Amino acid sequence: MDRVPILKIGDVLLVSIQIDLQDQTVLALQEDLADRIVKTGARGVIIDITAVDIVDSFIGRMFATIASMSRLMDAETVVVGMRPAVAITLVELGLSLGGVRTALDLEKGMRVLGAPLPAVRPGTS
């Protein structure tokens, strides 16, 4: 089974999903994230699904579970990069992911979390 790597940038844990998700992988990610939040004291989690071409009810529910779990450990979760076709399908499936914060891309997601973004290069302003 593949595992999804978790990267740390400052106070934020970044998960960028680049594989076809199977159920066990999603469950493992949930546990790995819980561990990493506790170990690092991260205040935010970003799940980047730019490369994910389907989100079914199981995967969608896991995003909601991860968001609730992180919140209990004082970390905010933002799902970023959802493809339009995935969003249309999720709504038709009956899953609106009400409890999950979303942002269009990674940069906007970082902003939602109040994470510092790279400064403008000196001399360009």
Partner 1 sequence: MTAQDVELPIVSNEDVVRVRQLVRAVAAEAGMSLVDQTKIVTAASELARNTFVHGGGGSARVESVVNARGRAGVRLVVTDNGPGIPDIDKALTEGWTSGSGLGLGLPGARRLADEFELDTKAGEGTTVTVTKWIR
Q: Which positions touch partner 1 (CB under 8 A)?
A: 20-24, 53-58, 61, 83-86, 88-89, 92-95
Contact between 21 and 13 under an 8 Å Cβ cutoff? The reply is no
| Shortest Å distance, C-beta 53 to partner 1 | 7
| Shortest Å distance, C-beta 36 to partner 1 | 23
CB closer to partner 1 out of 93 and 104: 93
- Side by side, the strands of the sheet bearing 12-16 are 6-9, 12-16, 44-48, 76-80, 101-103
**Chain centre distance of CA 16:** 7
| Shortest Å distance, C-beta 49 to partner 1 | 13
CB closer to partner 1 out of 92 and 118: 92
CB closer to partner 1 out of 75 and 79: 79
